[in-house]
Amino acid sequence: MSEYSIVNLHQSCLIQLPTNLTEAEANNYQELINQLYKKDVANKRIVFDFSQTEYIDSKSISVLLSIVKTAKKEQVDITFWSVCHQVELQLSSASPELIYNIEAGTEFLAMNSQPSKNFIQEITPIIQAIATRLDWKNLWSEKVQASADFHE
């Protein structure tokens, strides 16, 4: 869980969920939320960022439901952002009430974390030109430095 970011800004907290949310990780998040509730200045809003989440198992959904119910008792708002269609279907089939926590208007662009080796050749020519100039700048800087080192 620690590899994913938790951001506190003003009195709101953003928690990014992992690509595959399994029961063990969901329990870790529940423990994290419980610790947040114990703080003197509690977050009034907690947002779960699903932009990286592609799969969630049924046990995790149960844990999420428990988190949402506890949040209501603690008067904390729980919201889900950027839920992809597949995860939304999983949520709606297992616990339809969780759908109401999904905030509309938070659609995201899913990007591969590692671009393909042929990425530069596959993209629009004008973008290729920009990318090439960026590489040229770096190569030129290396050559200038190498020349300076030679003359010293």
Partner 1 sequence: MILVTVGTEKFPFDRLMRWIDALIRQGFLQLEQEDIVIQCGTCNFLPGGVKAYSLLPEEQFRTLINQSRLIIGHCGEGTINILEEISKPYILVPRSYRFKEHVDDHQVELAEVLRQIGIPIAWSPGDLVRFLASPRHVPYSVAPGSKMTSLCQLLEERFGQINS
- Please report, as ranges, the residues that interact with partner 1 according to CB under 8 A: 5, 7-12, 14, 16, 44-45, 47, 49, 51, 77, 79, 81-82, 103-111, 115, 119, 123-124, 126-127, 130-131, 133-134, 137, 140
- Cα–Cα distance measured from residue 68 to residue 79, given in angstroms and rounded to the nearest whole number: 9
Candidates 60, 71, 74; CA nearest to 101 is: 71
| Contact of 61 with 23, CB cutoff 8 Å | no
CB of 91 to partner 1, least distance (A): 18
Using the minimum distance from each CB to partner 1, give the nearer residue, 24 or 130.
130
Strands (E), 41-103: 45-49, 55-56, 77-81
Of the two residues 20 and 58, which places its CB atom closer to partner 1 in the complex? 20
Asked whether the beta carbons of 32 and 22 are under 8 A apart, the reply is no
**Shorter beta-carbon distance to partner 1: residue 69 or 133:** 133
Pick between residue 8 and residue 19 the one whose CB is nearest to partner 1. 8
Cβ 21 to partner 1 shortest distance, Å: 15
Distance CA 92, CA 98 (A): 7
